[in-house]
Amino acid sequence: MKIIKVNLGKRSYDIMIGKDILSNFDFTKLCSKKCAIITDSNTRKLYSENLENLLNSTGYDAKLLEFPAGEKSKTWEMAGKIGRKLAKEGFDRSSTIIAIGGGVTGDLAGFVASVYQRGIGFVQIPTTLLAHVDSSIGGKTGVDIPEGKNLLGTFHQPKAVIIDIKTLETLPEKEIRNGFAEIIKYGMISDKKLFSYLEANITSRPDGFYPHIIERSCRIKADIVEKDEREGELRKILNYGHTIGHAIEAYENFKISHGEAVALGMVYEAKIANILGFLDKDSLKRQNKLIKAAGLPTEYNFKNPDKIIEIMRKDKKSKDSRLYFALPEQIGKIKKENNKTALPVDEKTVLKSFYKI
Ligand SMILES: NC(=O)c1ccc[n+]([C@@H]2O[C@H](COP(=O)([O-])OP(=O)(O)OC[C@H]3O[C@@H](n4cnc5c(N)ncnc54)[C@H](O)[C@@H]3O)[C@@H](O)[C@H]2O)c1
């Protein structure tokens, strides 16, 4: 088992990565006797019932709480329902929540853990590639409201993140691709070696491929979170591809996947970087070739570009009606100006990036 430490003083925790580590995992020190396993309707049968049996056969009092799979469950109302169930079942401040599932489960269960009785401990057991490398690390929790995604949220670090790579065996290819988009992003923003490794291996996916890219990605995210836990400045580099990506996702009413939207976001944000003279054309082409090799889209038909701009303006990442972007200056490096990583870009330049150069 590989352990990556996230150093955050009293809130430090380990990310444990291994294959088939869940079937006999020792939860001593991580979990109170009374614990709630929060799971969605897909992961329940696949992993959560086994976990419940494991815990209950080793002296724990574990209760499974299921919600319907999908982003539509990541709501304030669902958080309230789970909170009420916890209260009815007599969970108290010393209890632990275990979130087992994808990013939706982690965000929702983490949110509940952060507010239930003013905050209780929680453990993340991510089961999608996206959750392995991104959402389970860093302590961002949240739920959606009709006015926007993740608009109600907290920072609440988990006590541990347990990544069992075996969970990828049941994950549909479409979900694997969602994870690839974030991993390509890590390559672009901070690790040219990871980027080259992906270029060489993303199609063949040889033995050791997933452990390598997951470990590397977790290390990158952990390093960024350690330096900037609450998204002061540095953590904003993680938004690469997400400003335009989120706008496309919202415009399409979430009918395209998050990974596809982020991939498109990276394509057009890299174009902005190229137009501004930061990123050379060869690097832009290499990025897009890798995105394509990962099975993700590299072209989007902007039917209503002004609407996309309007969505971005309303996004919580925009300030004073200017659009802010984390932009690469080369593969593996984000451009900084006066120590700022989110740079203002005028809307004309953004619009220009939507069309072929
Ligand atoms: N907190 C953060 O820092 C952060 C970062 C990125 C994304 N997110 C959030 O993460 C969410 C997306 O996460 P996601 O892509 O994991 O979505 P998800 O949780 O909806 O999982 C995707 C689908 O895969 C199923 N699934 C999960 N594990 C499986 C497995 N091992 N085998 C088969 N099916 C499995 C789920 O039931 C679901 O249907 C979004 O809500 C996003 O806002 C949060």
Average pLDDT over residues 330-354: 94
Residue nearest to atom 20 of ligand 1 (CA): 70
What's the chain's average pLDDT?
95
Query: Does 357 score more than 60 pLDDT?
Result: no
Instruction: Give the side-chain half-sphere CA count within 13 A for 21.
Output: 18
Residue 319 has pLDDT above 80, yes or no: no
Q: What integer pLDDT is reported at residue 320 of this predicted model? A: 67
Ligand 1 pocket mutation pick from 76, 130, 169, 185 by most atoms within 8 angstroms of CB: 130
Q: What residue owns the CA closest to ligand 1's atom 9?
A: 103
Euclidean distance between CA atoms 310 and 286, whole angstroms: 30
Q: How confident is the model at residue 166 (pLDDT cuts 50, 70, 90)?
A: very high
Closest ligand 1 atom to 129 CA: 16
According to the model, what pLDDT value does residue 285 have? 98
Q: In this predicted structure, what is the pLDDT of residue 7?
A: 98
Dihedral, CA atoms, 92, 96, 101, 106, nearest 10 degrees? 80
Going from the C-alpha of 183 to that of each of 121, 283, 285, 345, the distances in angstroms are: 28, 17, 17, 25
**pTM > 0.75: yes or no:** yes
Beta bridge partners of 36: 63, 97
Instruction: Read off the pLDDT of residues 252-278 as tens digits, 9 standing for 90 and up.
Output: 998 999 999 999 999 999 999 999 999
- C-alpha 73 – ligand 1 centre gap (Å): 12
CA separation for the pair 124, 159 (Å, rounded): 8
Q: If you average pLDDT over residues 155-169, what whole number do you get?
A: 98
Q: Give the pLDDT band of residue 84 (cuts 50, 70, 90).
A: very high
Q: Whose CA is nearest to atom 2 of ligand 1?
A: 135
Nearest CA to ligand 1 atom 5: 135
Asked if pLDDT for residue 176 goes beyond 60, the answer is yes
Say how far apart CA 327 and CA 343 lie, in whole Å: 8
Place of tokens 């169930």: 85
Residues annotated catalytic, as ranges = 118, 140, 182, 221, 231, 235, 239, 242, 246, 258
Percent of the chain with pLDDT over 90: 93
Residue with tokens 């969505």: 311
- On the question of pLDDT at 91 being above 60, the answer is yes
Q: Which atom of ligand 1 is nearest to the CA of 105?
A: 19
Q: Length of the chain in residues, anyone?
A: 357
Q: Are 197 and 122 in contact (CB under 8 A)?
A: no
Q: What is the pLDDT of residue 318?
A: 65
Residue nearest to atom 11 of ligand 1 (CA): 103
Instruction: List, in order of start, the domains of the chain with CATH numbers.
Output: 2-170 (3.40.50.1970), 177-353 (1.20.1090.10)
Q: Mean pLDDT, to the nearest integer, of 45-61? A: 97
Read off the pLDDT band of 321 (50, 70, 90): low
Looking at residue 314, its pLDDT comes to 82
pLDDT in tens, 218-236: 999 999 999 999 988 899 9
Name all residues whose Cβ lies below 6 A of ligand 1: 40, 42-43, 46, 69-71, 74, 101-105, 107, 127-128, 130-131, 134-135, 138, 140, 149-150, 167, 170-171, 175, 178, 258
The residues, any chain, with a CB within 8 Å of residue 43's CB and separated by 6 or more, are: 69, 100, 101, 102, 105, 127
What is the band of 55 on the pLDDT scale with cuts at 50, 70, 90?
very high
CA count, 13 A, side-chain hemisphere, 141: 24
pLDDT band at 149 (very low <50, low <70, confident <90, very high): confident
> How many whole angstroms separate alpha carbon 123 and alpha carbon 111?
12
Say how far apart CA 53 and CA 48 lie, in whole Å.
Answer: 9
* DSSP β-bridge partners for residue 66: 39
CB 184 within 8 A of CB 198: yes
Q: Look at residue 315 in the predicted model and tell me its pLDDT.
A: 74
